Amino acid sequence: MNSVNRRPLPSRIERLSELAFDLWWSWNTVAREVFRRLDYPLWRLTSHNPVKMLDLVSDERLEEAAKDRAFLGIYDSAIEKLVGVRSGKGTWWPQRCPGLADISIAYFSAEFAVHQSVPLYAGGLGVLAGDYCKEASDLGVPLIAVGFRYSSGYFQQTISTEGWQVEAYNRFAIGETPLERARTPAGQPCTVVVQVAGEGIHVWVWLVRMGRVQLYLLDTDVEENPRWGRDLSATLYVGEREARLRQEIILGIGGVRALQVLGHNPAVWHLNEGHAAFVVIERIRQLVESGQSLEAALQTIRSTTIFTTHTPVPAGHDTFFIDKVKSQLSSYWGTPKEWHEALLELGLHDDGNGNLFNMTALALRGSGAANAVSQAHREVTRHMFAPILPVTNGNLQAITNGVHIPTWIAPAIDTLLERYLGADWKERHDDPDLWEQVFAIPDEELWQVRQSLKAYLLAFIREHARQRWTERQASAAQLAFGGTLLDPSALTIGFGRRFTEYKRPELIFQDEARLARLLNAPGRPLQLIFAGKAHPDDGDGKRSLQRIYRRAGDPRFAGRIAFVDDYDLHVAHFFVQGCDVWLNNPRKPLEACGTSGMKASINGVLHMSVADGWWAEGYTGINGWLIDPRERSGDWAEAESLYRVLEEQAVPAFYERDGSGIPQRWMAMVKQTMRTVAPQFSARRMVKQYVEQMYLPKVGGVRAASAVTQEGN
Ligand SMILES: *Cc1c(COP(=O)(O)O)cnc(C)c1O
């Protein structure tokens, strides 16, 4: 199968394959430059996929590159950096935690968005997990991540002429990705077996290298398995309950076993959302089988497990009938059997729909500490799980999410920051003082860059439409609705995220006549760009998408509304960097945190949002806008507030220009948003906080627990 060094490379540049097979390249400027320079047309053609590039690039080009001094200079520098990153030397972790060089931390998540070439994510949770791993690598945190290799990934979206979402599941071609078989310390390909519904399901383990961090991906699509077993890891978040339960059994139980077979013995086990909560069951089972009492085993597991909950939306918390769980696990237990029932009771919770096996309840009861992902979300979670929280001693913390700055910063903004904040600004980016320097950037320069980023976005949208036309002869109307009529000088509002009811993609259409006036204002028009996928089972989300698509074709809106299909990491980059305003209007308090607005803000795109999730903490009064209907509430009141903010604040600030054509008031806000958001809502601040508040107390806990045992002896 797939292995590093698939094709002989000139010896002077033979480590190109090592670089291509370590996704660290994707967030390092020098490493990216290596592949851009190697073959720029191929870089574009493959949507930035070095593994594919190394297959396609011609021998002549490789020979030429191997003799090109300038190329070799950046190649050598990238390789040297990669070696340094893998060792973790000189990073934050060894300084902060001397003496903990040998430990590892396991991080379980059902999805990881690491790069567009590895489609193993559906939305924000996956992007967060991917950003978390990248930042852990940058900080030298010894993280080992565990997830799934979904053989069909998440679906690719196209839109029919009627505006209906069409889903295509393309099999994931492992040979075009940096996946390799993970190997045991003895050099064998790693496979584990998990008993599900009386059948031993074989699970292959793949490795994705991410600098200092290893990401292991479980895969049941292997020959030894029955058809239903092979399909278990086919797609993310299967709707069918039994299949979902089986997936989660594989993730939790298979994940623990995989790490053990690979020779890892994590000091802390971090469950990122409830999907992986069977980790708790498997670890307790092992301890009980080795002779510990259930009570003692539970204590040990709690002292080394932490849990992050990510959503207050009930559908985000998986529940199953207890009998179903028992039957799936019937052949899993060894002897003795008395304690199975007691163990499964850890998952029972009545959320108003009867006593069900609830993955969040299991994760909370199996963890010694838990956290929510913003201050507001902590309060909501406290209320939702009030009967269970005493288990964690009420220890529910709030650690607000953040975004990985090197991943989300636009190259043109990066260059500007290098000039005005210092060439090493990325090394110090979570230091708020550093950001005072953004005021030194001349308005004209920053405005120029902002304009060029909008131009990239519109060029990208045209290219996207051109592809649709080439592939499917999309109609002229479809090309127009896809954004080819957009105007680079108009105030551009972006809305890109999963299409789901609580995010209210249609809020801005509450008063269509008023919106039409805004879009058509002579000399100061507004335009709206939407993107996002609805879950395949979410009919409401799809109908909402369809209504927006139809409005794109409504002449009242004059071609100033567009819907760009197939939102993914690649599209998201252009969106959060290229719009002028980023709109976020979820139904409070359902957005636990939200991260797309952070990505926009660090690039100087102004955030216009209700005070939910992170914006309740991030809004300072001068770094963006608040949609706030004061004492009133509900869709109409909030839409009214949104229109007022647009009419009275955003539109005037954008269109008021000085003698050189610069919107000065606007630029002052752009600088405020970059200054306040970048350091505080970076993944760097977030990962450091997890280490300080969640990991280090647990590591202390392990040492204390083993000391107690020794005294007992
Ligand atoms: C950041 C991101 C999200 C999350 O967006 P929210 O507005 O926080 O829900 C979803 N999808 C992609 C591709 C992203 O990059």
3-class SS string, 334-365: CCCCCCHHHHHHHHEEECCCCEEEEHHHHHHH
Task: Say if ligand 1 is within 6 A of residue 505 CB.
Answer: no
* Pairing, β 319-320 against β 355-358: antiparallel
Is domain 103-402+688-712 given the CATH code 3.30.200.20 in the classification?
A: no
In this structure, the dihedral spanned by the alpha carbons of residues 386, 123, 355 and 247, taken in order and rounded to 10 degrees, is: -130
Model confidence over 136-173: pLDDT tens digits? Answer: 999 999 999 999 999 998 899 999 999 999 999 988 88
Q: Which amino acid residue places its CA nearest to atom 8 of ligand 1?
A: 594
The residue extents of the domains of the chain are 11-87, 103-402+688-712, 405-681
Q: What's the mean pLDDT in 374-389?
A: 89
- Residue 249 neighbours by CB distance under 10 Å: 23
Q: Is the CB of 114 under 6 A from ligand 1?
A: no
Q: Can you give the length of the chain in residues?
A: 713
pLDDT for residue 474: 85
The whole-number pLDDT of residue 336 equals 65
Ligand 1 pocket, 22 CB below 6 A?
no
Sign of the alpha-carbon dihedral angle for 17, 22, 26, 32:
negative
Using the predicted structure, report yes or no on whether residue 66 has a pLDDT greater than 80. Answer: yes
Which pair of structure tokens corresponds to residue 635?
Answer: 């869709």
For residue 503, which atom of ligand 1 is closest to its CA? 9
- Angle between the 443-472 and 664-680 helix axes, to the nearest 10 degrees? 80
86 pLDDT more than 60: yes
Which pLDDT band, with edges at 50, 70 and 90, does 706 fall under? very low
Tell me, using a 6 A CB cutoff, whether residue 569 lines ligand 1. yes
Report CA(76)–ligand 1 centroid distance (Å).
Answer: 35
487-512 tens-digit pLDDT:
999 999 999 999 999 999 999 999 99
Per-residue confidence at 703, pLDDT binned at 50, 70, 90?
low
- What is the pLDDT at residue 389? 75
What spacing in Å lies between the alpha carbon of 488 and ligand 1's midpoint? 24
Dihedral (CA of 650, 651, 655, 658) sign? negative
C-beta of 402 in contact with ligand 1 (< 6 A): no
572 in contact with ligand 1, CB cutoff 6 A: yes
Residue having the nearest C-alpha atom to atom 3 of ligand 1: 124
Pairing of strands 581-584, 606-610: parallel
Pick the atom of ligand 1 nearest to 571's CA: 13
Distance of alpha carbon 315 from alpha carbon 188, whole angstroms: 40
Instruction: Kindly report the protein residue whose alpha carbon is nearest to atom 4 of ligand 1.
Output: 124
Q: Is the C-beta atom of 126 inside 6 A of ligand 1?
A: no
Residue 705: pLDDT above 50?
no
C-alpha distances out from residue 672 to 345, 351, 605, 666, 675, Å: 50, 42, 11, 10, 5
Q: 166: how many CB neighbours lie within 10 A of its CB? A: 11
State the Cα–Cα distance between residues 371 and 364, nearest whole angstrom.
10
Mutate to test the pocket of ligand 1, among 117, 498, 535, 605 (most ligand atoms within 8 A of CB): 498
CA end-to-end span of the chain, whole Å? Answer: 50
CA 594/CA 313 separation, integer angstroms:
13
Peptide bond into 336 cis (omega under 30): yes
Span 188-245, pLDDT tens digits: 999 999 999 999 999 999 999 999 999 999 999 999 999 999 999 998 888 899 999 9
Distance 122 CA to ligand 1 centre (A): 9
Ligand 1 contact via 229 beta carbon (within 6 Å): no
Average pLDDT over residues 662-666: 98
Separation between Cα atoms, residue 214 and residue 533, nearest integer Å: 29
- What is the DSSP annotation of 588-654? TT--S---HHHHHHHTTPEEEEES-TTHHHH--SSSEEEE--TT--SHHHHHHHHHHIIIIIIHHHH
Q: pTM here?
A: 0.96
Specify the residue with its C-alpha closest to ligand 1, atom 7. 596
Rounded to whole angstroms, the Cα distance separating 515 from 506 reads 12
- Residue 713: pLDDT band with limits 50, 70, 90: very low
* Domain formed by 405-681, architecture: 3-Layer(aba) Sandwich (3.40)
Span from the CA of 392 to the centroid of ligand 1 (angstroms): 30
Q: Hey, what amino acid is at 532?
A: G
Quote the ligand 1 centre to 532 CA distance (angstroms).
9
Q: Are 618 and 673 in contact (CB under 8 A)?
A: no
Task: Cite the DSSP H helix spans in 422-484.
Answer: 443-472, 476-479
Give the separation between CA 197 and CA 250, rounded to whole angstroms.
12
Stretch (H or E) spanning 584: strand 581-584
Residue 207, token pair as written in the block? 């490795």
pLDDT bin (cut points 50, 70, 90) of residue 702 is low
Whether a cis peptide bond, with omega within 30° of 0, leads into 189 is no
The whole-number pLDDT of residue 711 equals 36
Q: Which residues contact 309 (CB under 8 A, 6 or more apart)?
A: 273, 274, 360, 363, 364, 370, 371, 372, 373, 381, 592
**Closest C-alpha to ligand 1, atom 2:** 124
Would you state the pLDDT for residue 1?
39
Other residues' Cβ atoms within 10 Å of the Cβ of residue 318: 22
Identify which of 134, 135, 117, 89 has the alpha carbon closest to the alpha carbon of residue 174: 117
Residue 222 and residue 247 in contact, taking contact as beta carbons nearer than 8 Å: no
pLDDT of amino acid 334: 75
Task: Give the pLDDT band (50/70/90) at residue 709.
Answer: very low
Instruction: Find the DSSP H helices in 57-123.
Output: 59-65, 69-87, 92-96
> 373 C-alpha to center of ligand 1: Å?
15
Report pLDDT digits (tens) over 304-359. Answer: 999 999 999 888 899 999 999 999 999 998 766 778 888 999 999 988 888 999 99
Does residue 568 line the site of ligand 1, with CB under 6 A?
yes
Ligand 1 proximity of 596 Cβ (cutoff 6 Å): yes
- Is pLDDT at 710 greater than 70 in this prediction? no
The per-type count for the chain, helices as H runs and strands as E runs, is: 31, 21
Contacts of 599 (CB under 8 A, 6+ apart): 403, 408, 572, 576, 577
User: What is the arithmetic mean of pLDDT over 255-279?
Assistant: 97
277 lines ligand 1 (CB under 6 A): no
Spacing, Cα 290 to ligand 1 middle (Å): 44
Which atom of ligand 1 is nearest the CA belonging to 403? 1
Q: Return mean pLDDT, the chain.
A: 94
The letter for the amino acid at 622 is: I
Q: Which pLDDT score is estimated for 393?
A: 55
Phi, psi of 350 (to 5 degrees): -105, 105
* Both tokens assigned to 426: 């990325």
- Position 557 scores a pLDDT of 96
Between CA 234 and CA 191 the distance in angstroms is 18
Which residue's CA is the nearest one to ligand 1's atom 11? 123
Between 677 and 98, the higher pLDDT residue: 677
- Verify whether ligand 1 is closer than 6 Å to residue 123 (CB atom): yes
Report whether pLDDT(405) > 70: yes
How far apart are the CA of 584 and the centre of ligand 1, in A? Answer: 11
For residues 140 and 685, the answer to whether their CB atoms sit within 8 Å is no
Distances (CA, A) of 359 to 73, 307, 608: 51, 11, 34
What is d(CA 37, CA 26) in angstroms, rounded to the nearest whole number?
14
